Amino acid sequence: MSITKKISLLSFALLFGGLYAETKFEPIELTNEKIALTDEIVSKISKEHFYQKKNIKELDTQYVSKLLERLDPNKIYFTRAEVSEFEAQNIIDTSFDLSIGYKIINNYFLKLEIATQHQISVIQNGSFDFTGDELIDVFPDDNEWVDDISQLHEKWTAIAKNDLLSLMLSKENVDHQENLIKRYKRRLRSISQRNEEDVYSIAINSITNLFDPHSSYLSPKSAEDFDMQMSLKLEGIGALLGTEDDYPQIVKLIKGGPAEKSGKIEQEDLIISVRQIEEEEPVDVIGWRIDEVVQLIRGPSGSQLELELASKDLLGGEHKFVILEREEVKLEEQAAQSKIITAPIDDREIKLGIINLPAFYVDFNGWRNRDPDFRSSSKDIEKILAEFNEQNVDALLLDLRGNSGGSLYEANRLTGLFVAAGATVQVKESTGYVRPWGDGRAIQAWKKPLAVLVDRYSASASEILAGAIQDYERGIIIGDQTFGKGTVQKLDSLSAGQIKITESKFYRVSGESTQRKGIVPDIFLPTYTSRDDFGEEALETALPWDVIRPIRHKKYGIDEEALEAIKISFNQREAVDPNLTYISSFRKTLEDEQDIKFLSLNIEKRKLEKEAREAKYLGLENARRKSLELEIFESYEDLLEYRKDLDEVIDIQNDLLLNEASKITAEYAIQSQQLKSIYG
């Protein structure tokens, strides 16, 4: 055991009266290989990042605070004095010195291990009273560093008590204390398994992320996983995972994958445990290494597993258990899907074509090998549009909700199907050189009214297409303000691993950047969740929004009178339509819950809160259904069961936002036709 560790352990033992067993985490030392790799990364990102002019010396004052925020966002592991000591040290002299980063990270894992030992001791020796008026602070945004270790001790105890109460509310007929102790012991095991690559990745990415949120170092293992994700062939549940504090987190649901099709799993959900169906006991994965969680979840197609999940915003509330059957998530299952519906508007019926596009995909190998049958989103949609034209479809609604992007080549090709040949986007490089991108040979495949449906999760390539449609005045944009990712990354190899560097920015043909602001729709639909804490603008080091010179482009001329008429119609409907008022009420209810600062540690109060919450959501749904003369649900469980069986991608009845967007698109088609007949 190192001298540094012995001193640290002695200090903690004195502070806590020798309550804890000797820790197993061995502090990781910065090796010469990692020092050389750091020089390589810093040199590369300094020269090739979009903002070359950024003064790298200025990062010195930011590094420690950002690293602490990354490791201990809830301020439950370090004291004010420790933080002050860390912040007094510099990491930049003639080059970046990650020693201070390693020191902070090593101290964090040591603290986490001691905190976990404390929680095990509390659970083993404590007899908790869940009948009093005790509260736990669950709103960390206004937390401050505490003054001494005894205050940390109180926080760790309260967290352990809340963890136990959450288990008691979620699981029956099990030994809750034993289960929680097992969870904590697995966390200890995970801490002891941390290696040099783990510590280095945290330390170096706390530097790369100071340039912008999307520049990062990928270890050799992470690079392998990244390549696998980009191949779009994953045997598992169809979800990308990350971490939130000690919890594995659902970062993204892949369209068409088992997790997304279940209808029960939300982006940002936290994974508590994983159980293979053939085994009785679940495996608690809190505190696990993310690569270990991924390996536990991956498996052969056809096999089943059960996930125990908790909402990120309601971690102290009830958990949900979801059984999934693993599949190979293929390109086919993420391909564009279409449907033709009849939309009645007043005394007219509009034949409306709907296309759902979850990603901008292309089989690059087939394209490079000149395979005439290679698969791509633009080719698939071109076929759908030909079919719509044959079926005399009156208008098109393109659904890009949840589409976080993909191939820039495909974004250009797809835009060309609606606006013909021309630029679709401008790309500005770090040198200042701007070049237009587009499809010079594009032939307009759809000439009738067009609407594009977007949401906060529509990003990158989705924003390129939606922005071009808006700038060309080719159609209307409906939904919510998009994510706002207007940067381009390149992936370069290093002596070990790879680095992803933001090298350029996207700009619309109008000259406006999509960065931070995204695409602002022509007609805003109500949303289920707030946009304030999600999107590029919520990322602290995101590059700024700016404008460059516009480039000449054709304008088809939006029917402003038609657009104004449907805005008036929508505004009137928004105040009284059961679906739209339901969405607004749902959002208000959810926001009220997320603003809660304290949770009760009284079990009866928590049960009543859970029942009240379920009754509230059931009441909202039944009020909507009653207004529409639909069958109401007898219980909250009946509602969950009903939603479980919903797996149709284009579902006009149950997808309330799609339902409203189809009405708006149909109205736009009618108004456009009326104006054409008047002004001919």
DSSP state of 265: -
Annotate 286-339 with DSSP letters as a single string: TT--HHHHHHHH---TT-EEEEEEE-STTTTS--EEEEEE-EEE-TGGGS-EEE
pLDDT of amino acid 55: 63
Q: Are residues 421 and 497 in the same domain?
A: yes
Please state the φ and ψ torsions of residue 202, each to the nearest 5 degrees: -65, -45
Q: Are residues 83 and 196 in the same domain?
A: yes
pLDDT of amino acid 367: 67
Nearest to 206 by CA among 102, 112, 111: 102
Number of domains in the chain: 3
Task: State pLDDT tens for residues 134-160.
Answer: 999 888 888 899 999 999 999 999 999
Q: Per-residue confidence at 97, pLDDT binned at 50, 70, 90?
A: confident
Instruction: Provide the 3-class DSSP secondary structure of residue 610.
Output: helix
pLDDT reading at 227 higher than 50: no
Query: How many C-beta atoms surround the C-beta of residue 249 within 10 A?
Result: 20
pLDDT reading at 235 higher than 70: no
Instruction: Provide the 3-class DSSP secondary structure of residue 367.
Output: helix
Q: Which residues pair with 427 in a beta bridge?
A: 435, 506
Q: Are residues 488 and 541 in the same domain?
A: yes
Task: State pLDDT tens for residues 394-452.
Answer: 999 999 999 988 888 889 999 999 998 889 999 999 888 999 998 888 899 999 999 99
Q: Per-residue confidence at 333, pLDDT binned at 50, 70, 90?
A: low
Q: Are residues 266 and 202 in the same domain?
A: no
CA angle 401, 403, 408 (to 5 degrees): 140
pLDDT of amino acid 92: 62
| Mean pLDDT value of segment 218-227 | 60
pLDDT reading at 629 higher than 50: yes
Residue 469 resides in a domain: yes
Contact of 444 with 489, CB cutoff 8 Å? no
pLDDT reading at 4 higher than 50: no
Q: Per-residue confidence at 568, pLDDT binned at 50, 70, 90?
A: very high
pLDDT reading at 229 higher than 50: no
Residue 152 resides in a domain: yes
What does the alpha-carbon distance between residue 191 and residue 341 come to, in Å, rounded to a whole number? 55
Token digits of residue 104: 């902070």
pLDDT reading at 345 higher than 70: yes
pLDDT reading at 20 higher than 60: no
**CATH at residue 547:** 3.90.226.10
What does the alpha-carbon distance between residue 389 and residue 668 come to, in Å, rounded to a whole number? 18
The interaxial angle of helices 196-211 and 32-48, nearest 10 deg, is 20
What does the alpha-carbon distance between residue 104 and residue 26 come to, in Å, rounded to a whole number? 14
Q: Are residues 54 and 158 in the same domain?
A: yes
DSSP state of 575: T
CA angle 207, 210, 211 (to 5 degrees): 105
Point out the domain boundary residue: 178, 211, 244.
211
| Mean pLDDT value of segment 534-549 | 92
pLDDT of amino acid 14: 35
Q: Give the position of tokens 């010469």.
A: 32
pLDDT reading at 12 higher than 50: no
pLDDT of amino acid 379: 92
Residue 475 resides in a domain: yes
DSSP state of 432: S
- Residue 293's alpha-carbon distances to 167, 244, 273, in angstroms, are 20, 13, 9
Residue 37 resides in a domain: yes
Q: Are residues 344 and 489 in the same domain?
A: yes
Residue 221 resides in a domain: no
What does the alpha-carbon distance between residue 391 and residue 151 come to, in Å, rounded to a whole number? 70
pLDDT of amino acid 627: 95
Q: What is the CA radius of gyration of the chain?
A: 27
Q: Per-residue confidence at 317, pLDDT binned at 50, 70, 90?
A: low
Q: Are residues 252 and 143 in the same domain?
A: no
What does the alpha-carbon distance between residue 644 and residue 405 come to, in Å, rounded to a whole number? 27
Helix (H) or strand (E) holding 354: strand 348-356
Q: Per-residue confidence at 504, pLDDT binned at 50, 70, 90?
A: very high
Largest CA-CA distance found in the chain, in angstroms, rounded: 89
Q: Are residues 499 and 443 in the same domain?
A: yes
Residue 664 resides in a domain: no
pLDDT reading at 223 higher than 60: no
pLDDT of amino acid 674: 65
Catalytic residues: 460, 471, 485
Q: Are residues 306 and 206 in the same domain?
A: no
| Mean pLDDT value of segment 508-536 | 91
Q: Per-residue confidence at 364, pLDDT binned at 50, 70, 90?
A: low
| Mean pLDDT value of segment 462-484 | 96
pLDDT of amino acid 96: 73
What does the alpha-carbon distance between residue 392 and residue 120 come to, in Å, rounded to a whole number? 68
Point out the domain boundary residue: 279, 314, 329.
329
pLDDT reading at 676 higher than 70: no
Q: Per-residue confidence at 15, pLDDT binned at 50, 70, 90?
A: very low
Q: Per-residue confidence at 653, pLDDT binned at 50, 70, 90?
A: very high
**CATH at residue 286:** 2.30.42.10
Q: Which residues pair with 398 in a beta bridge?
A: 355, 452
Q: Per-residue confidence at 52, pLDDT binned at 50, 70, 90?
A: low
Nearest to 482 by CA among 458, 504, 503: 458
Contact of 297 with 237, CB cutoff 8 Å? yes
Residue 598 resides in a domain: no
Domain containing 322 equals 234-329
Residue 592 resides in a domain: no
Q: Per-residue confidence at 247, pLDDT binned at 50, 70, 90?
A: confident
Task: State pLDDT tens for residues 25-44.
Answer: 889 999 999 999 999 998 89
Q: Positive or negative CA dihedral for 361, 364, 366, 367?
A: positive
* pTM beyond cutoff 0.75: yes
pLDDT reading at 337 higher than 60: yes
pLDDT reading at 638 higher than 50: yes
Q: Are residues 143 and 130 in the same domain?
A: yes
Contact of 97 with 91, CB cutoff 8 Å? yes
Q: Give the position of tokens 């009754």.
A: 615
Work out the mean pLDDT of the chain and round it to a whole number: 86
Point out the domain boundary residue: 542, 557, 572.
557
| Mean pLDDT value of segment 645-664 | 91
Q: Are residues 268 and 358 in the same domain?
A: no
Q: Are residues 378 and 281 in the same domain?
A: no
Q: Per-residue confidence at 313, pLDDT binned at 50, 70, 90?
A: low
What does the alpha-carbon distance between residue 625 and residue 633 come to, in Å, rounded to a whole number? 9
